[in-house]
Chains A and B, each alone.
Chain A
Amino acid sequence: MYSQSKKAKNTISLFITYAFLILFGLFMIYPLLWVVSAAFKSNDEIFKSLSLIPQKIVTDSFIKGWQGTGQYTFGRFFANNFILVVPVVFFTIISSTLVAYGFARFNFPLKRLFFVILISTLMLPDSVNLIPRYILFNAFGWVDSYKPFIIPSMFASTPFFVFMMIQFMRGLPREIEEAAIIDGCNSFQILLRVTGPLCKTAMISMGIFQFIWTWNDFLGPLIYINSVEKYTIALGLRMCVDSAAAIAWNQIMAMTVIAMLPCIIIFFAAQKYFVEGIATSGIKG
């Protein structure tokens, strides 16, 4: 008798939990689904109903939106984004792994101090360096190029990633490395053949985060990129909204979807790396 009522109580609380999860989940996901559906709706329909299924499916919003506003199409902005993001991701992975290896496996003078500095830069707000960095890069002649993004990435400039790699490497057993030393490997060979491959998961999650952050970055390109020819998607999107806003909403929605697509694909392709990355380092978002 007792167990039966308890069972019933459990069923009810389970039902409530699921109802909440589903309802709240719908709230969370609806805006995202709405952009996608709006891209396929006609302009008149976009604000008329809450329905996610278009009454009449329109596909030319993607074609027209892709043309952009001026002389450059979204194809250009899209390509630019890759030209900017790919090297940044590549160099971030290499440099952060090297530096983390140094911190995790070696002792050297001032190591503790350096580590404390690394951790404090983790909490240093970027904006305090914004202006002098711009002045510096301007003096280097880097403005209106992708150098302000690519070159710092060669110097492990995101403390999050270094910290995350250090944490990951500390969790790896040292025995295999010691075996490699006995086999006559030098430290770089060990990194290349033993430690590096073991860090693959962390390296991938680092790459994913860096890709998504750089892909979505707006303030950086806004400051450093002047010519439309070099615009990234973020700048291209803003330009479209500012100029043609009221007229072709479905085109803007279509380009918004295009801008989000790479992140969505990466997210679903690499979910486990995502969670691992956040959980080991406590990365922001």
Chain B
Amino acid sequence: MTARLRRKDLVGLLYVLPWLVGFLVFKLYPFIMSFVYSFCDYSMLKPPKFVGLYNFIYMLTKDELFPKALVNTLKYVIITVPLKISFALFVAIILNMKLKGINLFRTVYYLPSIFGGSVAISILWRFLFMKEGIVNKFLGLFGIEGINWLGDPRIAMFSVSLLAVWQFGSSMVLFLARLKEIPSELYEAALVDGASRLKMFTKITLPMISPIMFFNLVMQTINAFQEFTGPYIITGGGPVNSTYLLSMLIYDNAFKYFRMGYAAALSWVQFVIILIFTAFIFRSSTYWTYYEYDEGRF
């Protein structure tokens, strides 16, 4: 009996083996090495040289781009994540109604999201928001004078962020799937009790979707912190570095200047910031997420 069990265990392990090998070689090893490199001076031409905390000291005291990139990245996250999730929820609630042709609308709202952070869509954004672009043309219809969306350092970040907001489709679909699962009896009971729409939303809808809200918040935050393609193609980090993000600083140091050690140190800072933010969301979620069954908990 035990021998048979063990054989079955072995078979299971065999199926999982590709993942395990992949995890060790492509995830765990690089993860450890990234930590090691962050304390090294490494240009790939010579073997890595241990420099202690030098990379981190340089980052905080000498690299003028680092604080800039850090603030920009935080700005990017703070603009995109809440806007994207609010849009996603708002539209999902409307799309959850039983209306004719609702599937067509779902398609339309999801469509922009399939392109993700692609070059094609970033090029489109660049053209839309150019000084002589279509967005200004549209504003002109209402007699509003064109804004230099991508050329003005004060608003370039906002224009670039809108691309991510526009792609709220995946979060929306998740909300939608959850909304459909809320038993209608809950609303019916509330209606009998004479609850207002707002009350139903805050007392029924919000608690019921809170696990999805949590998931969306975590995933979108992690993604936003790492954003690269959009800003890189649309503005290249400009004007005057106003859209220059941490991911670009990492990319430039690693693959333009081949300062692998410094880039690794930067990526660890990025990682720790993401960790702090996710930990905060996890911690706070115990106060605002509601689970029907405990197994649903992360």
Contact = CB atoms under 8 A, between A and B. Distances in A.
B240 to A, nearest CB: 20
A107 B12 contact: yes
Interface stretch (A63-71, A110-118, A171-179): A110-118
B137 interface: yes
B173 A47 contact: no
The DSSP consensus for interface residues of chain B is helix
Contact of A124 (B27, B37, B91, B108): B27
B268 A133 contact: no
A136 B32 CA distance: 12
A1 interface: no
Given A223-B255, A237-B123, A108 B12 contact: yes
B110 to A, nearest CB: 8
Interface residues of A, number: 87
Contacts of B78: none
Contacts of B30: 129, 132-133, 136
Contacts of B16: 99, 102-103, 106, 108, 111, 114
Given A34-B134, A125-B271, A218-B118, A108 B10 contact: yes
B289 interface: no
B114 A263 contact: yes
B3 interface: no
Contacts of B9: 106-109
A94 B218 CA distance: 29
A123 B218 contact: yes
B169 interface: yes
Contacts of A218: 117-119, 228-229, 232-233
B224 to A, nearest CB: 11
B137 A47 contact: yes
A105 B271 contact: no
Contacts of A98: 15, 18
Interface in B128-165: 128, 130, 132-134, 137-138, 141
A275 B180 CA distance: 13
A283 B263 CA distance: 29
A99 B44 CA distance: 35
B204 interface: no
B119 A219 contact: no
Contacts of A18: 99
B57 interface: no
B22 interface: yes
30 contacts: A20-B94, A24-B109, A25-B109, A28-B109, A31-B124, A32-B111, A49-B137, A99-B16, A101-B15, A102-B16, A102-B19, A105-B12, A106-B11, A127-B271, A129-B26, A130-B250, A130-B254, A136-B29, A136-B33, A152-B22, A155-B23, A155-B26, A212-B116, A216-B115, A216-B119, A219-B228, A237-B120, A260-B115, A260-B121, A267-B111
